[in-house]
């Protein structure tokens, strides 16, 4: 008897899941145990490591996965918490007397690869145990294969990515890369094994309780981005499959950072990032849906197109695997050293809580806190403001806040984009291109300025302010502040720094760091 322990990590889905497909169809597997493990510290000890939106999203994704497994395959998900290695060893030895195969999807993060290496050694102690890893499901490219190839050079641009794609994928007669088809949901199930009794598992209701206890103030919240494969497939249909014109004309730099005009929470882009980073949606599925749309007529191309966005995603995955100390500002050859100011709690807190006195920045940060998401150009603006633009704080502080709060939080992408925006990496935008935190209608941040509904929604103190002053309310005459019912300095903060002065000083400091 062989038991396949299916370790769900990033592919929280039934479709395009190679490990699941293998376990369901392989003759050598007699029964299956699908598991998910919260790493030590993620939900025990208070659970604040994952912000409310992240943990809630994960809980909903697991619930949806469990119900999909039950409905389609008659098996259910078991959830654990603790040190990966310890939990897995207990599960595997608890199964006792059987042959056990631990199956999982490849993951490029160093701390997880380290845990895997240690596990592989441990699994080697018995002929009854083995591990099997499936390489390229979370990305289009097989990361290890590309990074290990003789001619691999770290990519810094879309041109480099086109070169890598051409080398690793065939191109079909329509001119598209052959990235492979997403796998269907398997239908030939195996029974669930119940021989894992030595480890306590968590019920979904335990997760709900932990979240309520950790975030009591959020108990009435409904999530704008609910987790799960069901939601992912619905958003894919609504935003991509059924919107060919949107897909074919998609140019990322033209999308509006202040969201849809009729809903200040709904992205002008696809809003699929959280579903991709958790693996509720397969990247291959999104790629192929866009391709189907492109076949219907003329369409935009990388870097601006949706395929281009996915190629940026691949680029950061490759870099995160090939740049040492990717998540650090020390010993990272993709990060120049900058003499940032010491951690300034007051400034960081004002930034994080959306009380800098700059309404566009504050609206973006409050949106992040409330929904766990922010438009890409909003992310540009707030990260530039925190680092080389105004506050001169180390990018790693902002990265940490994003990591905790983003529903799409992704180690490879979050670090890569912070490096990009802080101006410190070879692939960064020019350091002297600093965003104005008080954008006007011509700003490349693409802000809706006529009605300014986005600011009114997220910064309700300014709800009655005239649009003319709403992006820089401290410049409004006192009479206007009075009639709008919001006195700047009392009801809404004065700017924490002078934006023009800080910009000027920081440009000089950044130039000096580069020259050094």
User: Site size for ligand FAD, by CB under 6 A?
Assistant: 30
Q: Which stretch binds ligand FAD (CB under 6 A): 23-31, 146-154, 262-270, 507-515?
A: 262-270
Alpha helices in 372-406 (DSSP H): 376-384, 395-405
Out of 22, 38, 312, 392, the only residue in the binding site for ligand FAD (CB under 6 A) is: 312
Among 276, 365, 484, 496, binds ligand FAD (CB under 6 A): 276
Rg (CA), the chain: 24
Kindly tell me which of 318 and 421 has the beta carbon lying closer to ligand FAD. Answer: 421
306 Cβ contact partners less than 8 Å away, ≥ 6 residues apart: 240, 247, 250, 270, 286, 290
> Both tokens of residue 371?
């929904």
Q: Does 322 bind ligand FAD (CB under 6 A)?
A: no
Residues 449, 452, 454, 460, CA torsion sign: positive
Q: Which stretch binds ligand FAD (CB under 6 A): 1-9, 168-176, 307-315, 486-494?
A: 307-315
Least distance from ligand FAD to the Cβ atom of residue 343, Å = 18
Q: 191 or 253, CB closer to ligand FAD?
A: 253
Residue 309 sits in the site that holds ligand FAD (CB under 6 A):
yes
Dihedral sign computed on CA atoms, order 504, 506, 507, 508: positive
The residues, ordered by sequence, that sit 6+ positions from 170 with a Cβ below 8 Å of its Cβ are: 177, 178
- Sequence-distant (6+) residues with CB within 8 A of 100 are 2, 3, 5, 92, 128, 129, 130
Residue selected from 55, 69, 107, 272 as contacting ligand FAD according to rule CB under 6 A: 272
- Which H or E run includes 369? helix 359-371
Stretch that binds ligand FAD, among 66-74, 84-92, 96-104, 266-274 (CB under 6 A): 266-274
Instruction: Give 306: exposed, middle or buried? Use CB within 10 Å, 0-12, 13-18, 19+.
Output: buried
Q: Does 421 bind ligand FAD (CB under 6 A)?
A: yes
What residues numbered 333-392 form the site for ligand FAD, per CB under 6 A?
375-376, 379-380, 383
> Both tokens of residue 212?
């309520």
Beta carbon nearer to ligand FAD, 91 or 107:
107
Query: CA–CA separation, 464 vs 484, rounded Å?
Result: 5
Question: Is the Cβ of residue 303 or residue 357 nearer to ligand FAD in the bound state?
Answer: 303
Q: Given the DSSP bridges, would you call strands 2-8 and 129-134 parallel, antiparallel or unpaired?
A: unpaired
> Which two tokens mark 507?
């440009």
Q: Is 22 in the site for ligand FAD (CB under 6 A)?
A: no
258 binds ligand FAD (CB under 6 A): no
- Binding residues for ligand FAD, rule: CB under 6 A, are 252, 267, 269-273, 276-277, 306, 309-310, 312-313, 316, 375-376, 379-380, 383, 402, 406, 408-410, 413-414, 417-418, 421
């Amino acid at each position: 008897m062989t038991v396949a322990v299916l370790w769900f990590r990033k592919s929280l889905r039934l479709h395009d899941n190679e490990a699941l497909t293998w376990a369901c169809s392989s003759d050598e597997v007699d029964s299956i145990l699908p598991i998910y493990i919260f790493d030590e510290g993620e939900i025990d000890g208070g659970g604040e490591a994952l912000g409310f939106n992240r943990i809630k999203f994960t809980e909903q994704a697991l619930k949806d996965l469990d119900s999909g497994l039950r409905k389609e395959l008659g098996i259910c998900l078991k959830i654990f918490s603790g040190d990966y290695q310890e939990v897995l060893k207990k599960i595997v030895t608890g199964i006792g007397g059987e042959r056990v195969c631990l199956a999982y999807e490849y993951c490029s993060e160093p701390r997880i690869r380290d845990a895997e290496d240690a596990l592989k050694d441990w699994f080697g102690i018995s002929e009854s145990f083995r591990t099997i890893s499936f390489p390229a499901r979370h990305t289009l490219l097989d990361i290890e294969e590309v990074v290990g190839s003789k001619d691999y050079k770290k990519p810094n641009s879309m041109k480099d990515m086109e070169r890598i794609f051409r080398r690793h994928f065939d191109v079909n007669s329509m001119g598209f890369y052959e990235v492979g088809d997403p796998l269907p949901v398997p239908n030939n199930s195996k029974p669930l094994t119940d021989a894992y009794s030595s480890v306590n598992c968590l019920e979904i209701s335990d997760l709900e309780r932990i979240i309520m206890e950790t975030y009591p103030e959020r108990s009435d919240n409904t999530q704008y981005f609910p987790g799960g494969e069901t939601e992912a497939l619905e958003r894919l249909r609504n935003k991509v499959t059924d919107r060919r014109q949107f897909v074919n004309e998609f140019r990322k730099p033209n999308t509006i950072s202040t969201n849809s005009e009729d809903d200040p929470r709904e992205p002008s882009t696809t809003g699929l990032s959280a579903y991709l980073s958790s693996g509720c949606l397969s990247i291959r599925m999104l790629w192929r849906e866009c391709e189907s749309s492109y076949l219907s007529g003329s369409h935009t191309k990388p870097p601006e197109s949706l395929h281009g966005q996915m190629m940026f995603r691949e680029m950061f995955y490759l870099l995160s695997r090939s740049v040492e100390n990717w998540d650090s500002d020390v010993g990272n050859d993709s990060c120049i050293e900058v003499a940032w100011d010491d951690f300034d709690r007051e400034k960081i807190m004002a930034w994080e809580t959306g009380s800098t006195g700059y309404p566009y920045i504050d609206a973006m940060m409050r949106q992040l806190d409330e929904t766990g998401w922010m438009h890409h150009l909003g992310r540009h603006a707030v990260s530039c403001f925190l680092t080389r633009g105004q506050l001169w704080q180390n990018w790693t502080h902002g990265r940490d806040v994003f990591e905790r709060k983003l529903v799409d939080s992704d180690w490879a992408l979050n670090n890569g984009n912070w490096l990009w925006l802080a101006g410190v990496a070879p692939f960064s935008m020019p350091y002297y291109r600093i965003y104005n935190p008080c954008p006007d209608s011509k700003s490349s941040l693409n802000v809706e300025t006529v009605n300014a509904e986005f600011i009114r929604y997220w910064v309700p103190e300014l709800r009655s302010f005239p649009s003319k002053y709403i992006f820089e309310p401290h410049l409004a005459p006192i009479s206007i502040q009075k009639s709008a019912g919001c006195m700047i300095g009392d009801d809404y903060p004065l700017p924490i720094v002078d934006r023009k002065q800080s910009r000027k000083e920081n440009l000089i400091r950044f130039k000096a760091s580069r020259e050094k």
